[in-house]
Structure 1
Amino acid sequence: MTTPFPFTAVVGQDDLRLALLLNAVSPQVGGVLVRGEKGTAKSTAVRALSALLPELDVVSGCRFSCTPGSPDPACPDGPHEPGAFESRSARMVELPVGASEDRLVGALDIERALAEGVKAFEPGLLADAHRGILYVDEVNLLHDHLVDLLLDAAAMGASYVEREGVSVRHAARFLLVGTMNPEEGELRPQLLDRFGLTVEVSASREPDQRVEVVRRRLAYDDDPAGFAARWADEEAAVRARIAAARKLLPSVHLGDGALRQIAATCAAFEVDGMRADIVMARTATALAAWAGRTDVLAEDVRQAALLALPHRRRRSPFDAPGLDEDKLDETLEEFGGPGEDGGDDDPDPGPDGGPGGQPAPDEGPQGDGDTAARPETGESGEPQAGPGAGEQSAVRAAEPFRTKVLNVPGIGQGAAGRRSRARTEQGRTTGARRPQGTLTKLHLSATVQAAAPHQRARGRSGPGLVVRRDDLRQATREGRESNLVLFVVDASGSMAARQRMSAVKGAVLSLLLDAYQRRDKVGLVTFRGSAAEVALPPTSSVDAAAARLESLPTGGRTPLAAGLLKAHDVLRVERLRDPARRPLVVVVTDGRATGGPEPVALAGRAARLFAADGTASVVVDCESGPVRLGLAGQLAGELGGTAVTLDELRADSIAGLVRDVQQGTSRRAA
């Protein structure tokens, strides 16, 4: 087994190390979510933590890590012999993003259960992680059905496995640690709230610190065991400090003053529910124990807020993470509390500012007023102005709204999500088939029907059913999949009226929010002037798409054909990368085409490429005014898709409601 990188050898990342150590002191804090760019020691620090955790006493031979003094009465390996126990290190179990449901919760041997009538249960990762660490790298990419199981286990402290009337339950209490790169998409709010603490990590910009990172990493790669031996004393010191803090934790006093500060802070930042208050209280108590104190000070409450609240105050994926530290300090000062006379006896409070408060240098535009996008210049070097003649600075998007659901027709087999119909492991049962490989979802009635005609030939003499492998039937289920939603946005001069472009951006932003909620990948192609460009390659990060949209300038001619051809090329590449993910093309335009020879005819030929491929498409008609040419509707016909106006795009629009009723009536008549 490879020697892990020592925890104490990690350079910098003070907030990350402190959050992990606080969970080691008090597992009830609820785990850590680590957000940050790739290559910032997220996984290294998490994997190194398990070596610092105290050893566990477990019942000998128990696959579910029962505590010797109080074993789980429902443990599948029970009842246990009293007094038989052994000591071992706490486990760190990794949950792969692509794991199956049975790998996570465990699996029953269906064949033995039917043929022999016995409960043959193979524990999953939740059983392995009990009383240890469950680590999920790229947790934001975890499939929804696994997220649901994690939420259930985290809420109840137990895992339930149900298979056609056979039920198994076992304890599953673990420290949940997840790492993620925000550029690849956000977490579901329910799972996000289950993480007690969150930290934002980034690579240091200090040359000396970066040199030290490289030096230590090279030394570790050359001789892992020797490098770990050089840090053994530091590791032992931290391990001893964790043990001492755990012993001191029950004696820490959380006074009414600190509780008032905690409640006032959560109320001031308008976090949902009461979990934030509880997590802050536990974190502040763990901070005091880590510092060797028995009283919670104001500085503990402040640091707890910086770790526990940033991910709970976000209302949408486009909100910047972090806290307003001035507002935090004002709230703590207003409601008083302990430790106002200094509180600098905490030897390890963590760096000032914690994980929140400061936006990243490359973050999207913030603050009031219009986004300041620099106008582009013409060939003469002078700024171009005027709608349809040159470039205009970007305008802010209108307020987003709830959109109608846009689906891809047919039934797919892509990644689990919430948009289009698909054959999935989760969902309603629609039929049965012979299993291909391991049986995972038994269709009981179909299995019985397959076995029933052969009972006399198999010599059945009792009430039991004689079942053989060939009789087993796998349930086929229908659920929802995620799609690739590719936005093709007209940014030409015909769209450049300020109020109109604001409405268009608001509509696209609304569709991006919908894509976020439905777990889609998104991409953005824009066209204006004389060419089209891929403003954002397909990604799971809808906030990156929103940032590109916000800074999008407008002006120039309308190269519609170039935009469609660029989008077609993007889809061609994505089909090679992910052939199971079906695309949905959303063209946002008024339908005009100018620039180049025969622009309208060329746009029509480009549109028919999508129809030939069977690509689902929707044209959002942005034409306004009393006189309408209907060009967007003609484009939708060439694409083989449908057209909706900006008003019809709203889920609560009267026009959309009337259209739904009319479509439903026509279908019933047919």
Structure 2
Amino acid sequence: MSDLPYPFTAIVGMADLRLGLLLNAVSPAVGGVLVRGEKGTAKSTMVRALAGLLPSIATVPGCRFACDPAAADPQCPDGPHAPQPAEQRPAHLVELPVGVSEDRIVGSLDLERALAEGVKAYEPGLLAKAHRGVLYIDEVNLLQDHVVDLLLDAAAMGRSYVEREGVSVRHAARFLLVGTMNPEEGELRPQLLDRFGLTVEIAATRDPDERAEVVRRRLAYDADPAGFAARYADDERALAERITAARELLPKVALTDLALRQITAVCAAFEVDGLRADIVMARTAVALAAWDGRTEVAEEDVRRAARLALPHRRRRNPFDAPGLDEEQLDRTLAEHSEPSGPDEDPGQPLDQDPDGDGDDDGPGDGGPGGGGGAPAPGDAPDGAAAAQSEPAPEAGVPPQGTGGGAKAPVAAAGDPYRTRLFKVPGTGKGAQGRRSPAETDGGHTVRARRPQGALHRLHLSATLRAAAPHQLARGRDSRALVLHRDDFREQVRQGRESNLVLFVVDASGSMAARQRMTAVKGAVMSLLMDAYQRRDKIGMITFRGSAAELALPPTSSVEVGAARLEQLPTGGRTPLAAGLLRAHEVLRVERMRDPHRRPLLMVVTDGRATGGRDALAQAGRAAGLLAGQGVASVVLDCESGPVRLGLARTLAAQLRASAVTLDELRADGVTALVHAHRTASYDRKAA
């Protein structure tokens, strides 16, 4: 592969992404771009191509932290800087790998030299290299939590801090943050999502001519990168000059009171959290005017700024797709297209519902282009309403099959709620998350041990205790402590890990009886939301009719799991053993792929099993197979009605798992139970 980047002006289509990147090149204060799209859409190619268009920066010669000679950082580790001629260099594009370590991001101190020799040796990290440039993160949604925390701190304060046993280093770290992600692999933490100024949704074009042109240019580039770049050199130069001109014009652009009122009205109408959206929209609108060569923000600038800055800030819950209702945007801008007159009520709220129906969400809620979006998780799909109005099949109704024949009914999910926390017993070593105890890079220190590889987290007191008994034998003759390599101890920290939560959902006719499936889907949806918040990987197996199906292979995209659950049909017999055996096979494969990620099996069933006289015995043997491998399990007992057989609790005993009813699943239900118990105790004591 050539070292020459693909020319920015040679990329076909993707106007929104092109504009979002160029606006940030004009005004880095906009806050960066998050690029969401399917794989193979040239997201990374376009971001890397942007670096060649950025104006060069002036730096202090020899400064590893890119200090600006006109305003040098007084806390720069390479400072203080004496006045000297500036050095011009290109702005850096720094790529942050998904599996990057904490020391690689913020830099590292050589603790052994610091303690043994008294030398403070600091090696700058990627944040220092990205200062005044671009920090690019491919697959940003896959970053571990402790890395996200570091980025949030740097983005919020514009500085990077390194603290190691009383030794402090800090330096400026202001950069243009650009991230790309495939939504199918999971979403971003809300805090990091909000730090991106703009977001762009992209997809591969469906136009055959455009696709042919993309392939044609790519093949030409691969065959002769230098010649291909030369053909676009004039276009690249002209675009770079336009960026420079827009930067020079930017301070002269006026944000009128009318434009500012439109911006705040739009943000209020779409009910975005906080005021960051208003600020980002204002900066984006000013950058758009400068990019077009104008000195005053127009209504169209506000409209385009809203399409880029608001979609990812409108999500009300983790399963909402980002999007913007174009009709609502047009209405709001039209209502505030003229300055306030003397007859206008100054107390009228900016977010008043224009059509009076109390609903801010229009029918076209979709991506930034305004196309129809997917239904919200709480809404029933087209066939769900009809399914709810039809009587659900009772247990014993002939199976409708898993394919062909009459269409199985689909029940809508009930409203999600906060659930109890289920953990995997013991201490793991999986990826950082928020569910089960594990040894992690973050968390609190629980013990010390000899370093395993390079020393990163010194345990000072344990190191001193290890060295103290040997000082006389080592001939210590001064106040300096004589340390050997074997004396050093590192911290072992305990935090929380993410797990693989595998759902095994009974979708048979017995579950559909008495509209039970609506409550069951609401419970599973609530558990999915809990898995999203705890950064888990999830999978889903469903069983009905005559077989079990892997409805969702293990993935980080909880949104896909929610969509599959919404469309899950019910009816037919109950092949419980097949569902458990399929879970055993899925977990076996995942154990080979990721041996450190511990599984949590969630079996959602009423415990019934059909398929022969010994169906329950077969299910018991399958449960014993899972229990014998030490799989942590929870059985969600969905049995209801006055007469209960207790089959789900029998299954839980065979799995060596706990059994939880739908009522017991709710976190607020458990809290109320504890509160009632305490109140009763106090009343008895008072009596």
**Residue-by-residue CA offset, 1:33-52 (whole Å, 9 max, x unaligned):** 00000001110000000000
In the other structure, the counterpart of 1:437 is 453
The answer to whether the Cα contact below 8 Å between 2:520 and 2:638 also exists between their aligned partners in 1 is yes
Three-state SS of the structure 2 residue aligned to 1:619 is strand
2:394 to 369, 387, 396: 387
**Residue-by-residue CA offset, 1:279-333 (whole Å, 9 max, x unaligned):** 0000000000000000100000000000000000102221121100000000000
- Distance in 1 between the 2:140 and 2:372 partners? 23
Moved over 6 A (4+): 373-376, 659-662
1:358 to 348, 366, 371: 371
Q: CA shift at 1:68, angstroms?
A: 1.1
Q: CA shift at 1:103, angstroms?
A: 0.2
2:14 pairs with 1:13: yes
2:372 pairs with 1:372: no
Q: CA shift at 1:465, angstroms?
A: 1.6
Q: CA shift at 1:461, angstroms?
A: 2.2
2:164 pairs with 1:153: no
The answer to whether the Cα contact below 8 Å between 1:590 and 1:631 also exists between their aligned partners in 2 is yes
- Distance in 1 between the 2:671 and 2:86 partners? 69
Q: Structure 1 unaligned runs (5+)?
A: 339-352, 377-382, 663-670
Three-state SS of the structure 2 residue aligned to 1:28 is helix
In the other structure, the counterpart of 1:40 is 41
1:84-163 matched pairs, under 5 angstroms: 84-163=85-164
TM-aligned CA distance change 1:409 to 1:354, over 3 Å: closer
The answer to whether the Cα contact below 8 Å between 1:496 and 1:554 also exists between their aligned partners in 2 is yes
1:535 to 551, 559, 567: 551
TM-aligned CA distance change 1:47 to 1:74, over 3 Å: same
1:616 to 632, 643, 663: 632
Three-state SS of the structure 2 residue aligned to 1:500 is helix
> How many equivalent pairs are there?
641
1:564 to 573, 580, 590: 580
In the other structure, the counterpart of 2:181 is 180
TM-aligned CA distance change 1:75 to 1:396, over 3 Å: same
TM-aligned CA distance change 1:335 to 1:183, over 3 Å: same
- Distance in 2 between the 1:573 and 1:337 partners? 63
The answer to whether the Cα contact below 8 Å between 1:320 and 1:359 also exists between their aligned partners in 2 is no
The answer to whether the Cα contact below 8 Å between 1:161 and 1:169 also exists between their aligned partners in 2 is yes
Q: CA shift at 1:640, angstroms?
A: 1.1
Aligned-CA RMSD value: 2.1
Q: Which moved more, 1:547-556 or 1:367-376?
A: 367-376
Q: Which moved more, 1:539-548 or 1:491-500?
A: 491-500
In the other structure, the counterpart of 1:497 is 513
2:590 pairs with 1:583: no
Write the letter of the residue equivalent to 1:386: P
Three-state SS of the structure 2 residue aligned to 1:555 is coil
The answer to whether the Cα contact below 8 Å between 2:136 and 2:178 also exists between their aligned partners in 1 is yes
**Residue-by-residue CA offset, 1:449-507 (whole Å, 9 max, x unaligned):** 01111112222222222222111101001000000000000000001136311100000
- Distance in 2 between the 1:111 and 1:215 partners? 55
In the other structure, the counterpart of 2:241 is 240
In the other structure, the counterpart of 2:66 is 65
The answer to whether the Cα contact below 8 Å between 1:321 and 1:356 also exists between their aligned partners in 2 is no
2:435 to 409, 412, 419: 419
The answer to whether the Cα contact below 8 Å between 1:307 and 1:354 also exists between their aligned partners in 2 is no
Three-state SS of the structure 1 residue aligned to 2:135 is strand
- Distance in 1 between the 2:511 and 2:598 partners? 29
Q: CA shift at 1:116, angstroms?
A: 1.6
TM-aligned CA distance change 1:659 to 1:569, over 3 Å: farther
- Distance in 2 between the 1:225 and 1:642 partners? 65
Q: CA shift at 1:366, angstroms?
A: 7.7
Scaled by the length of structure 2, the TM-score of the pair is 0.91
The answer to whether the Cα contact below 8 Å between 1:298 and 1:337 also exists between their aligned partners in 2 is no
In the other structure, the counterpart of 1:523 is 539
The answer to whether the Cα contact below 8 Å between 2:378 and 2:413 also exists between their aligned partners in 1 is no
1:75-90 matched pairs, under 5 angstroms: 75-90=76-91
Three-state SS of the structure 2 residue aligned to 1:580 is coil
Write the letter of the residue equivalent to 2:127: L
Three-state SS of the structure 1 residue aligned to 2:191 is helix
Write the letter of the residue equivalent to 2:644: R
**Residue-by-residue CA offset, 1:584-639 (whole Å, 9 max, x unaligned):** 00000000001135100000000001110000000000000111111111000101
Three-state SS of the structure 2 residue aligned to 1:552 is coil
The answer to whether the Cα contact below 8 Å between 2:319 and 2:377 also exists between their aligned partners in 1 is no
1:465 to 481, 501, 506: 481
Q: CA shift at 1:123, angstroms?
A: 0.2
- Distance in 1 between the 2:594 and 2:386 partners? 37
- Distance in 1 between the 2:454 and 2:36 partners? 36
In the other structure, the counterpart of 1:223 is 224
**Residue-by-residue CA offset, 1:45-90 (whole Å, 9 max, x unaligned):** 0000000000111110100000012211110011123114211111
Three-state SS of the structure 1 residue aligned to 2:334 is helix
TM-aligned CA distance change 1:337 to 1:658, over 3 Å: same
Write the letter of the residue equivalent to 2:200: V
In the other structure, the counterpart of 1:344 is none
TM-aligned CA distance change 1:247 to 1:565, over 3 Å: same
